Amino acid sequence: MAKELIVYFSRKGNNYVNGSIRNLSIGNTEVAAKMIQELSGADMFQIEPVVEYAADYNECTEQAQRDKRANTRPEFKNAPKDIAEYDTIYLGYPNYWGTMPMHVWTFLEKYDFTGKTIKPFCTHEGSGLGSSERDIQKLCLGAKVETGIAIHGAEVSRSKSAIEKWL
């Protein structure tokens, strides 16, 4: 039987939602990841930074932009030993500056995805998937990268049917 894993990066707290800054008790990408888990029964792993971004949304976006410009590979906590047992990876992230947060790049470069299927899902406030699907394909040679789903962050709590259709 094929084994599935949901891997996601999410940001709770100070977030941009529908044109204003709001405090979220659970990040939008985590909300989507939990819906995918409920629908698929897949195992789940959250990419948690060793060094957190600033709590302030504007400072966080500046830090994320600096990371992207510097092409950094920030570390994350509790990395799985390997992902060999999984055939399908649901990969979730917020859109940061047109692609994935650099922590996700770190994750993708850490493991061998040859022969695996990657299904990207992204939360955003108007920028969709950006270049993330192409970036995943470049980082994960040998993997099948399927068409992702972009979920408007402000609508994530009402996106279960769209996620189910995408699955």
Rounded to an integer, the average pLDDT of 11-31 is 94
pLDDT at 2: 77
> Which letter does DSSP use for residue 69 in this model?
H
Q: What percent of the chain has pLDDT over 70?
A: 99
Highest mean pLDDT among 20-24, 79-83, 113-117: 113-117
pLDDT at 15: 92
Cα 147-12-116 angle, rounded to 5 deg: 30
In this structure, how many other beta carbons lie within 10 angstroms of the beta carbon of residue 142?
Answer: 9
Structure tokens at 105: 């790049």
End-to-end Cα spacing for the chain = 17
pLDDT, tens digit (0-9, with 9 covering 90-100), for 26-58? 999 999 999 999 999 999 999 999 999 999 999
pLDDT at 10: 97
Residues 151, 102: Cα–Cα separation, whole Å = 20
Q: What percent of the chain has pLDDT over 90?
A: 94
CB 167 within 8 A of CB 36: yes
The per-residue pLDDT of the chain, averaged, comes to 96
Report all structural domains of the chain as residue ranges with CATH numbers, in order of start.
Answer: 4-166 (3.40.50.360)
pLDDT at 43: 97
CB 153 within 8 A of CB 15: yes
Longest C-alpha distance within the chain, in Å? 45
Q: Has residue 71 got a pLDDT over 70?
A: yes
Q: Has residue 1 got a pLDDT over 90?
A: no
pLDDT, tens digit (0-9, with 9 covering 90-100), for 111-150? 999 999 999 999 999 999 999 999 999 999 999 999 999 9
